[in-house]
Amino acid sequence: MGENRGWSGQATVDRLSRRSMLIFMLLALVAICTYLLLAGETSDERASAAEINYAGKRRMLSQRIGLLSAEYLRTQQAEELSELAAALRQIEDIHATLRHGDPQRGLRPPHSAELKARYQGPQGLDATMASFLALGSTLLRQASNGEDYRASAEALIHLSRGELLTALDQLVDLYQRESEASTDTLRLLLWCALLAGLGLFALAAFGVLRPLIAQVRHSLEEQEASETALRQAVEKNQLILQAAGEGIFGVDRNGRISFANPAATALLGRDSGQLGDLESHHAIMHGGGSCPICQVLADGGTPRRSEGQFSRPGNAADFPVEYTVAPRADGEGAVISFRDISEQRAAQAKLQRFQQRLVDAIEALDDAFTLFDSDDRLTQYNLRFTETFPLRGEVIRLGMRFSEFVRAIAEQQLYTVPDERLDDWIDERMAMHQRAEGSSEIPLGDGRWLRVTERRTREGGTLVIWSDVSDLKQARIAADQANQAKSEFMARMSHELRTPLNAILGFAQVLDHNGKTRLSADQQECVSHILLGGHHLLALINELLDLAAIEAGHLQVAMEEFALAPLLQECIALVSPQAADRQVRLTSADTAGVHVRGDGKRLKQVLLNLLSNGIKYNRVGGQLTLMLGQTTGGIRLSVADTGHGIAPDLARRVFLPFDRLGTSHGEGTGIGLSITRRMVELMGGQIGFDSELGVGTTFWIELDAATSESPIASRIPAPAAPAPEQPAPPALPCVVAIGLEAAETETLRLIVSTLRDIRLITAANLAEAHAVIAAQGCRAVVAEPALARQLLAELPSTDSRRPFVIALGERPLVHASEPRIHHWHPKPMKVREIARTLREATA
C-alpha cells in the first residue's frame, strides 16, 4: 500500500512537471515573439528619435548660416567667415547622413514614400540644399578672393529664411509624425503581449494547476497516513532499543554519535547528551585508518564484525567488546551494536593459563613427551622430544602417524637397526606400540639408551614417554673417576706445597726468635715479611684444597662488620715487595672510618689475589690503584692497573677455573679468579671488571656496607635510582632472531615450534629487526650481546612496545652492563632453560 501511495504521488509530480514544462515553453515562445517584435519597434523608435534630432540640427544650422552671412556683410570679420565655412561643412554632413543613413548612429535613409518625395525632384530638398551649399561656397570663394560677394550673401540669407527653412520645417514635422505612428504600433504590441500572458496564466491556473493541486492534496493526505504508520514503527523500534541487552548507537557520516540506547550509555558510562557532544566515535574506542567504523562510513558495503577496546570516562580501564557495524541504507551513517566480552576474555585467559600450566608441566619433564590421538596421529610434543630425535623440521610435524615417525628415525639410523632388519624391526616396534602396556629399553646408534613408556588415554590415544637412561648406567663410573681425580689432586697439593712451605716458615721462625744472633732492622723486617707472606700462602693452599668443598657448597663464611682500612693496609704491605720488584707504583684511596660487612679472611684473600694479578699483568713502571666507591646500599672496591687489557672475545673466560686465557707463560694455575668470584658471592657481593686493550683493566667487588653510619656516604654521591620501566602493551606473538649462527637458529626454531601460536622470524641485520618489531609487534628478541645493546640503544627507553631482549652469550661481569637486557643466556644454548624463558616472555 505504501508503494502504491508513493507511486501515485510520484505520478502527480510527473504530470505537474510535464504540464508546467508545456506552459513554460508557451510562455517562453510568447516572450520570444514579443521580444522580437518589440525589439524591431524599439529600434525604429530610436531611429526616428535620432532622425528628428538630426533634422532639427539641420534646420538650426541653416538659420545659423543665414545669421553668419548677414553678420559678415555688416562687419567683414575673418572669424565669422571661418564659422560660416564650418557651419556649411556641418550642415552638408548632416544632410548626407539623413539622406543616406548611418547604421552606426542608428539612422535610416528615407524609408517612406512621402519622405523620399520630399527629398527628390527639382523642387525637392536635395536640389534646394545643393543650391544653398553652392551659394555658401561661392560666398566663401568670393570673400577669400576679394571679389564682390554681396549678391551671393544676400541670396544665401534669403534662401535660408525662405524656401529652405520652409522645406526643413516640413521635414521635421514629417519625421515627428512617423515617430508617433511607430510609438502607437509599439503600444499596441505591448497590450497584445500582456493579454497573451494573462491568457496563458489563466490557462495554467484553471486548466493545469487546479487539478494538480487537488492531486497533491490527496498525496499529502496519503503521506500523513504514511508518517503516522512510520511514527508507530519508530516507536516500536525505540522500544526494541530500550529493551535490548546489547549496546546500540548510531554515527553520522562524520563519525559523530547521533543516538545511543540505555544499554550503550550504561556500558560507556556516559548519557546520551554526553555521547552526542563527543567530536567523533574515536573518543570511546581505539582506532585510526584501520577502524571498521571508519571503513564502513567510507566504503559502505556489507556489515562488518570486529573486536576492540571501548573506553569509559575517568580512570576506568578500557574494556574489550565485540561489535558489528552496519551501514545505513541512505548512506548517511552507520549503526553499531556491541557487547562487553570481559567475562568471556577472562574465561579464555583462565583456560589459556590452564593450558599453559599443562604445557609448562610437559616442558618441565626431563623426558621426551608425545601424545598421539585415537587415529595414531601426533597432536602434541615437548622440546625434549626434538632434542632426543634431532630430525629436520619437515620430518617431525603435527599430524604425522606414529608409523611414519618410527620409520623416519629408523631410516636416519638413530636406532641400531641393520638395514636388512629394518622392516621387521618396525613391525615389532609397532606391535609393542599397539599394546601400550609398559616400558622397554631401546639402544641408540650413538651409544645411548632410551626407556620407552607407553600408556593409553581415555580418548583412545597413546601417551609415549622416552627417558634417557644412559647417564644412570655411566653415573657410577663417572663418580668413581671424579672422586679418584680429586683425591689425587688434594694429595699432590698437600705433599708438594705444604711440606716445603712448612720448612720455609720453620726457618723463618728460627731466624725471628734466635736470641744468639740479633738481626738488623732491615733483616728483621724481611723476616717479618717472609713469615707474614708464608702464613698467608699456607692459608691460600688450604683454601685451594677446599676447592672441592666450594663446588659442593660446604665452605662456610663468617659474616661480621669490620673496619676496612687495617685490612687494606695489610694487603698493600704484603704485595709491596712484589710491586717494587715490578716497578709498579701502588696508590690507595683513603678508607678511614669505612666499615663493611663480610668475612675478613675471605676478603683479604680476594684483595690479595686482585692486587697480585694487577701487579703480575701490569707493565713495568706502571701503576696500580686501589679505589673506593659507593653503590646503592653498599661499598665498591676497585683495583685498576695499566696493563695490556683483556680482549673482548676472552672476557667470558676470565672467571673460568684453570683457564689462563690462552697464555702459555706466567705464574699461577688459573683458578685464582674463579675462587675469588665464589668467595665474593658467598659473602653476598658481586664481582666484575672493565677492560680496554692498551689502557688497562679494572676489577671491582661490591659488598654490603655496615649497618652503622659510614663517613663514606657523605663523600661519595649515591647513584640515581633507575627509572621504572613502563609495561609493554600486548603485541603479536612473534620471536625475532638477530645475528645467530645457523645451528643456533635451527635450535631456536625447534624451541619456538613447541610454543603455542608463536612463530620465529630471522633478521639479517638491525634494520630488518626494527621493521619486524614495528610491523609484527614481536614479543621477544634473541641476539648476540653486541647486537642486543645496539638494538636497545636505538629503541627509546620509554617505548612501551620494547620486546623482551635475550642476549645469547656470557653475561659481562662489568658494572656498566646494559640494564635493559632482560635475560642473559650463556653458550652453548640450554634448550629447556631458554624455552622456559621464551614461554614467560610470550605468554
Q: Could you tell me which of 607, 609, 602 has the C-alpha nearest to residue 560?
A: 602
Q: Could you tell me which of 663, 676, 565, 678 has the C-alpha nearest to residue 616?
A: 663
Q: Could you tell me which of 5, 544, 533, 457 has the C-alpha nearest to residue 223?
A: 5
State whether 690 and 763 are in the same domain.
no
Give a yes or no: residue 390 inside a domain: yes
Domain count, the chain: 5
> Which position has the grid cell 493579454?
195
User: Which of 46-60, 385-399, 424-438, 700-714: highest mean pLDDT?
Assistant: 424-438
Kindly report the number of other CB atoms within 10 A of residue 535's CB atom: 13
Give the C-alpha separation, 343 to 485, whole Å: 63
- What rounded mean pLDDT belongs to the chain? 78
State whether 336 and 351 are in the same domain.
no
Q: Could you tell me which of 367, 366, 374 has the C-alpha nearest to residue 462?
A: 374
State whether 113 and 14 are in the same domain.
yes
Name the grid cell of 765.
641485520
Give the residue with greater pLDDT, 91 vs 492. 91
Strand-pairing partners, residue 458, are: none
Give the C-alpha separation, 714 to 77, whole Å: 129
> Which position has the grid cell 513554460?
24
Tens of pLDDT, residues 362-421 = 888 888 889 999 999 998 888 888 888 877 656 778 888 988 888 888 887 778 788 788
State whether 625 and 697 are in the same domain.
yes
State whether 351 and 336 are in the same domain.
no
Element (DSSP H or E) covering residue 379: strand 378-381
For residue 749, pLDDT over 50 is answered with yes
Domain C-terminal end among 340, 355, 374: 340
For residue 114, pLDDT over 90 is answered with no
Q: Determine contact, residues 738/769, Cβ cutoff 8 Å.
A: yes
State residue 723's pLDDT score.
40
Give the residue with greater pLDDT, 791 vs 723. 791
Domain C-terminal end among 435, 468, 501: 468
Give the C-alpha separation, 663 to 643, whole Å: 15
State whether 744 and 818 are in the same domain.
yes
State residue 209's pLDDT score.
66
State residue 37's pLDDT score.
66
State residue 236's pLDDT score.
80
State whether 318 and 381 are in the same domain.
no
State whether 28 and 128 are in the same domain.
yes
Give a yes or no: residue 201 inside a domain: yes
For residue 353, pLDDT over 80 is answered with yes
Q: Determine contact, residues 130/164, Cβ cutoff 8 Å.
A: no
What is the CATH classification number for the domain harbouring 399? 3.30.450.20
Tens of pLDDT, residues 260-301 = 888 888 888 888 788 888 878 877 876 555 788 888 888 877
Give a yes or no: residue 436 inside a domain: yes
**Angle in degrees, CA 150, 154, 157, rounded to 5:** 140
- Alpha-helical segments (H) within 546-585: 547-552, 564-581
Q: How confident is the model at residue 727 (pLDDT cuts 50, 70, 90)?
A: very low
Q: What percent of the chain has pLDDT over 90?
A: 4
Which whole number is the average pLDDT over 165-188? 76
Burial class (CB in 10 A: 0-12, 13-18, 19+), 249: buried
For residue 131, pLDDT over 60 is answered with yes
State whether 70 and 119 are in the same domain.
yes
| Domain range enclosing 656 | 546-714
Tens of pLDDT, residues 547-602 = 555 655 556 778 899 898 888 888 888 888 888 888 899 998 888 888 898 988 88
State whether 148 and 37 are in the same domain.
yes
State residue 701's pLDDT score.
92
Which segment of 119-133, 484-498, 710-724 scores lowest on mean pLDDT?
710-724
Which segment of 171-180, 666-675, 723-732 scores lowest on mean pLDDT?
723-732
226 SS3 class: helix
State residue 737's pLDDT score.
92
Give a yes or no: residue 720 inside a domain: no
Which whole number is the average pLDDT over 195-209? 71
For residue 698, pLDDT over 90 is answered with yes
Tens of pLDDT, residues 684-696 = 888 989 988 888 9
DSSP letters spanning 22-54? HHHHHHHHHHHHHHHHHHHHHHHHHHHHHHHHH
State residue 372's pLDDT score.
92
Q: What percent of the chain has pLDDT over 70?
A: 81
State whether 320 and 357 are in the same domain.
no
For residue 640, pLDDT over 90 is answered with yes
Element (DSSP H or E) covering residue 532: helix 521-545
Give a yes or no: residue 45 inside a domain: yes
Residue type (1 letter), 586? L
Kindly report the number of other CB atoms within 10 A of residue 152's CB atom: 21
Which whole number is the average pLDDT over 215-241? 79
Burial class (CB in 10 A: 0-12, 13-18, 19+), 275: buried
State residue 377's pLDDT score.
92
Give the C-alpha separation, 468 to 633, whole Å: 47
Give a yes or no: residue 318 inside a domain: yes
Label each residue of 452-491 as H, E or C.
Answer: EEEEECCCCCEEEEEEECHHHHHHHHHHHHHHHHHHHHHH
What is the CATH classification number for the domain harbouring 56? 1.20.120.1730
Burial class (CB in 10 A: 0-12, 13-18, 19+), 598: buried
Tens of pLDDT, residues 642-673 = 988 888 888 777 877 666 666 655 455 566 77
Domain C-terminal end among 468, 484, 509: 468
Give a yes or no: residue 480 inside a domain: no
Give the C-alpha separation, 574 to 607, whole Å: 11
| Phi, psi at 280, each rounded to 5° | -160, 175
DSSP state at residue 802: P
Give a yes or no: residue 539 inside a domain: no
What is the CATH classification number for the domain harbouring 740? 3.40.50.2300
For residue 361, pLDDT over 70 is answered with yes
Which whole number is the average pLDDT over 616-626? 89
State whether 14 and 117 are in the same domain.
yes
Give the residue with greater pLDDT, 301 vs 8. 301
State residue 742's pLDDT score.
78
Q: Exposure pattern of 156-175 as b/e (b: 16+ CB <10 Å)?
A: bbebbeeebeebbeebbebb
